A and B are shown apart, each in its own frame.
Chain A
Amino acid sequence: MGLNTENARTLRKLAVVAVAMFGFGFALVPFYKKICEVTGLNDLQKADTVVNTQVDASRTVVLELDANTRNELPWAFRPTERSVKVHPGQLVQITYEVRNDSDEAVTGQAIPSYGPRLAEQYFRKLDCFCFAKQELKPREVRRMPVTFVVHPDLPSDVATVTLSYTFFRVEGPTKPAAARTDIGARPAS
């Protein structure tokens, strides 16, 4: 066998490796999702179970509620109360109201965030509209509950917690970000 055939064989083998590794890059996506699923790392949206809720009536935590929308979502989104006072261990229900201002059905997903961040681990949510996507028909108004317990282990120096939800648009074209030229800047002009 000549050197050229030998070289061509090596070339083909190595090219197969390169193509396979390109595929492997994409295979990392489901692989990553599976790992997160198995280890429960990304489970922001799962109902918690609460056992033995001893209400600590001697302590009051002020819960400030906040609501935002992103990605040009044509929704008006707000909590029905701006803030509530809760006792750790107490079962609390709050309500958010969302209104679709557009003439088409739109789906959104709410993502919670907490201030201070460490408060997150002391929130036990039994029910939340953020556990599922919400599809609103044209001009539909919906009131949605969040049921939760603030765990009594919440550090005693935390007197105020902000619970913030942001609704992201899920389907339909998101506005292409590349069209926004105001983000970058030209050198020293």
Chain B
Amino acid sequence: MEAVHGHEHGHDHAHYPGGIMRWITTTNHKDIGTLYLWFSFAMFITGGLLALGIRAELFQPGMQVWRPEFFNQLTTMHGLIMVFGAIMPAFVGFANWQVPMMIGAPDMAFARMNNFSFWLLPPAALLLVVSFFVPGGATGAGWTLYAPLSVQQGMGMDMAIFAVHIMGASSIMGSINIITTILNMRAPGMTLMKMPLFVWTWLITAYLLIAVMPVLAGAVTMLLTDRHFDTHFFNAAGGGDPVLYQHVFWFFGHPEVYIMILPAFGIVSQVLPAFARKPLFGYSSMVYATASIAILSFIVWAHHMFTVGMPAAGQLFFMYATMLIAVPTGVKVFNWIATMWRGSMTFETPMLFSVGFLFVFTMGGFTGLILAITPVDIQLQDTYYVVAHFHYVLVAGSLFAIFSGIYFWLPKWTGHMYDETLGKWHFWLSIIFFNVTFFVMHFLGLAGMPRRVPDYAQQFADFNMIASIGAFGFGLTQLLFFYIVVKCIKGGEKAPAKPWEGADSLEWTLPSPAPYHSFETPPIVK
């Protein structure tokens, strides 16, 4: 906790060991944020390559590239790596960089624990990736690791279980850190209702993480003991119930999807007012809407399992509760649009990604509403319609918000402006290829193509070919993103302290690049 104390006198130069040891031993929130973001990018590329493996197989009907067992491993690992390796660490990276700067704190509350939280992740990622090469290969049970299949698979499954344990521990430690920082270390005058919305969404997300990551840890622990220690939680032969696994998993799983989207809402709520040059419309309703979404997320989990056998009363309850979530989400979308209404808008890359987010995420929200209708869901369960839905909210939702945030804060992080022309190319290529890939999946799902299957009937061939072309285009576009970021780190036009005219949170009062130690003397917020 050394970094918390800060020194009496401010200093711009940093004291840290050179080379790799700087990164291994660092307790600086900015360094750790950078580590999280690069780790997330590496996992994004890994998970993306697996996705391209899937799309290569599905380019044409028939078995072309992989054996069916390996195809299942691809879909499973793509899901696990993207959820736990790419999206979640990216948001934690943002939290590390931004939360202390936005509330006027010198660093995170527990700087050493922050370092542990990050360095738990690479071993977990290694377990997942290496599991492809053990006998039996990686787990192919789907990212949800449903029993009884997950009780039966080879040692790749054990590696996935341990990876989930480690990543869960990392998330819980990170969340404790974020909550403590936000609750105890705000600058004088920064009341809770004056915090930037990004900080609010992360506060609520961190509470969600603490509430549900342990439940996932419990679920996979039960899997592990079922596999090796003769317990029968999910083993029907011993009096267990595989459906129980689904209940426990989705009790974690549904809050988890909000864990992946609430910080995205936070980023968009910073970016839209900055480029519309107006304060965020309905700030307090945004806070309450975020909290409502978080609370409702605990009572809707069974809409993921309408087809497992549930009394009609249960189906109705989960259907209505799920639809209720559309109300606070609708409040948010309304407020974002009202923020832009009559604003002096300019469309730099962060704004493009945020407006793109708003447009495409809302489509994903509506397909979610359609899937919430029980009788419709029974028809669409486990089809490509579901795949289209959750990629609209996770790629166009979470990922586009991450891109938006990266472009928004890159000048503050690196001290250089990124290449605006290339940034715009990145946006337009991404959003076009995204829709080419995933829009057609709605049609495939409505026509009845099941997900997680390596081969398909002839009538699905055209749409699958289009989706595969889009996927490879989307993948290649992300190399452009890599180039833009590296170019921005290496140099470019010098960024002023506040490159965006309409931005008004505390981090913009610091010079660009942000000094290694910031706000050692807390700013006074009026």
Contact = CB atoms under 8 A, between A and B. Distances in A.
A173 interface: yes
A183 to B, nearest CB: 6
Contacts of A168: 236-238
Contact of A3 (B4, B70, B135, B233): B4
Contacts of A28: 215, 218, 244, 247-248, 251
A154 interface: no
B214 A21 contact: yes
B215 A25 contact: yes
Q: How large is the interface on A (under 10, 10 to 19, 20 to 34, 35 or more residues)?
A: 35 or more
A112 B482 CA distance: 57
B117 to A, nearest CB: 13
B241 A6 contact: no
Given A170-B237, A180-B152, A184-B153, A10 B179 contact: yes
Interface string A73-115: 0000000000000000000000000000000000001010000
Contacts of B180: 7, 10-11, 14
Interface of chain B: mostly helix, strand, loop or mixed: helix
A178 B228 contact: yes
Q: How large is the interface on B (under 10, 10 to 19, 20 to 34, 35 or more residues)?
A: 35 or more
Interface in A36-54: 36, 39, 41-42
B212 interface: yes
A25 B153 CA distance: 23
B179 A14 contact: yes
Contacts of B228: 176, 178
A184 B154 contact: yes
B65 interface: yes
A29 B233 CA distance: 8
B237 A174 contact: yes
B88 to A, nearest CB: 16
A32 B218 contact: no
A12 to B, nearest CB: 10
Contacts of A180: 152, 154
A176 B225 CA distance: 11
B140 A184 contact: yes
A109 B237 contact: yes
A169 B237 contact: yes
A23 B217 CA distance: 10
A109 B70 CA distance: 35
A59 interface: no
A32 B219 CA distance: 14
Contact of A4 (B4, B65, B156, B175): B4
Contact of B158 (A23, A173, A178, A186): A178
A189 to B, nearest CB: 9
Given A17-B210, A32-B241, A185-B137, A3 B185 contact: yes
A46 B248 CA distance: 26
A184 B309 contact: no
A3 B184 contact: yes
In the A-B complex, the 6 residue pairs with the smallest Cβ-Cβ separation, listed nearest first, are: A25-B218, A184-B136, A168-B237, A185-B69, A22-B214, A21-B214
Interface of A: 3-4, 6-7, 10-11, 14-15, 17-19, 21-26, 28-29, 32, 36, 39, 41-42, 70-71, 109, 111, 168-170, 173-174, 176-178, 180-181, 183-188
Given A184-B156, A187-B132, 18 more contacts: A3-B4, A7-B109, A11-B109, A21-B215, A23-B218, A25-B217, A36-B241, A168-B236, A170-B237, A174-B237, A180-B154, A183-B153, A184-B137, A184-B154, A185-B70, A185-B137, A187-B70, A188-B67
9 contacts: A7-B109, A11-B176, A14-B210, A39-B311, A42-B241, A111-B236, A170-B239, A174-B237, A181-B136
